[in-house]
């Protein structure tokens, strides 16, 4: 069975400093991994995805994530936080669940606060 | 860009009412999903559908049903709304395999009083 653990429920950074949101996963097969962002009272927006190509994945708004199979991790980073990055971030794994079915499993989310 | 549109942004319903939440996508995606989102619990899958008139239970289907009469529309039905169904409901669609990623609607915040 697959699972996703976001190691921090809340991360607080100052504007202009680096962001690190941590995610570990478990999967029986070769998963696809995603990071989504959700701003207050909005739906989820795809930031980036890993689908077994390059292990360093670049996404929108300057975010990137590195897939490390040996550590079963997919941490999200950004060199310099902006006030508009304040939101909740979800790490998601998509894995084969039989037949032609794939199942998404969401982490519980990390709330990012950016201080002026 | 794929658009997933949820018909209502906010809904307030009374206990025992039958509630319909509508979701429409415009990219001919085969796969559609309903999730509910609650603080501390993250997103949980209620039902999904891989084709017209086809439905599969997710992790928390109790108290819900779904309808998919047309490819672009996936409806979530609360047969008899209860206060523990107060939540944010998110619809998503996906084309092809899992590597395509999912596109989510803006959500419907349902309050049952």
- CATH number of domain containing A76: 2.60.40.10
CA distance B14 to B32: 27
Q: How many A-B residue pairs are in contact by the CB < 8 A criterion?
A: 51
Whole-Å CA distances, B7 to B11, B23, B106: 10, 6, 10
Strands (E), chain A: 3-6, 10-14, 19-21, 23-26, 32-38, 44-50, 56-58, 64-68, 73-78, 87-98, 101-106, 110-115
Mean pLDDT, rounded, of chain A: 89
Band (pLDDT 50/70/90 cuts) for residue A54 is confident
Between A44, A51, A109, which is nearest B104 by CB? A44
Q: Which two tokens stand for residue A38?
A: 């959700």
Residues 6+ apart with CB under 8 A from A99: none
Band (pLDDT 50/70/90 cuts) for residue B97 is low
pLDDT at A42: 82
Classify residue B54 by burial, with Cβ atoms within 10 Å: 0-12, 13-18, 19+: exposed
Q: CATH no. for residue B93?
A: 2.60.40.10
Q: What is the pLDDT of residues B1-48, one digit of tens each?
A: 668 999 889 999 999 999 999 999 998 888 899 999 998 888 899 999
Q: Which residue of A has its CA nearest to B5?
A: A43
CA distance B37 to B45: 9
The residue segments making up the domain with residue B30 are: 4-98+105-112
Phi, psi (5° rounding) for residue A114? -115, 120
Number of domains in chain A: 1
The residues of B whose Cβ lies within 8 A of any Cβ of A are: 4, 33, 40-43, 45, 50, 56, 90, 92, 97-99, 101-107, 109
The residue segments making up the domain with residue A24 are: 3-115
Residues 6+ apart with CB under 8 A from A90: A6, A35, A36, A37, A38, A44, A106, A107, A109, A110, B42, B43
pLDDT at B102: 86
Alpha helices, DSSP H only, in B17-74?
none
Pairing of strands B31-38, B4-6: unpaired
CA distance A47 to A31: 17
Band (pLDDT 50/70/90 cuts) for residue A96 is low
Q: Which residue of A has its CA nearest to B37?
A: A108
Number of domains in chain B: 1
Per-residue pLDDT for A78 more than 70? yes
Strands (E), B1-113: 4-6, 10-13, 19-21, 23-25, 31-38, 42-49, 56-57, 64-70, 73-78, 87-94, 103-104, 108-112
Between B43, B101, B109, which is nearest A46 by CB? B101
Strand partners, A23: A6
């Amino acid at each position: 069975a697959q699972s996703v653990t976001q190691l921090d429920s809340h991360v607080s950074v100052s504007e202009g400093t680096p962001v690190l949101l941590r995610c570990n996963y478990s999967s029986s097969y070769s998963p696809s991994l995603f990071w989504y962002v959700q701003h207050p009272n909005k739906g989820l927006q795809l930031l980036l995805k890993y689908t077994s190509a390059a292990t360093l994945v670049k996404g929108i708004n300057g975010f990137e994530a590195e897939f490390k199979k040996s550590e079963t991790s997919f941490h999200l980073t950004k060199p310099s936080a902006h006030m508009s990055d304040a939101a909740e971030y979800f790490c998601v794994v998509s894995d084969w669940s039989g037949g032609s079915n794939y199942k998404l499993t969401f982490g519980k989310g990390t709330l990012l606060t950016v201080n002026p | 860009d794929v658009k997933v549109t949820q018909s209502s942004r906010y809904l307030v319903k009374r206990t025992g009412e039958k509630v319909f939440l509508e979701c429409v996508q415009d990219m001919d995606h085969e796969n559609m999903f309903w999730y509910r989102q609650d603080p501390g619990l993250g997103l949980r899958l209620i039902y999904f559908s891989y084709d017209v008139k086809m439905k599969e239970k997710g992790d928390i289907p109790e108290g819900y049903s779904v309808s998919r009469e047309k490819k672009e529309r996936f409806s979530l039905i609360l047969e008899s709304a209860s206060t523990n169904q107060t939540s944010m409901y998110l619809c998503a669609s996906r084309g092809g395999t899992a590597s395509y990623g999912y596109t989510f609607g803006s959500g419907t915040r349902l309050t049952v009083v």
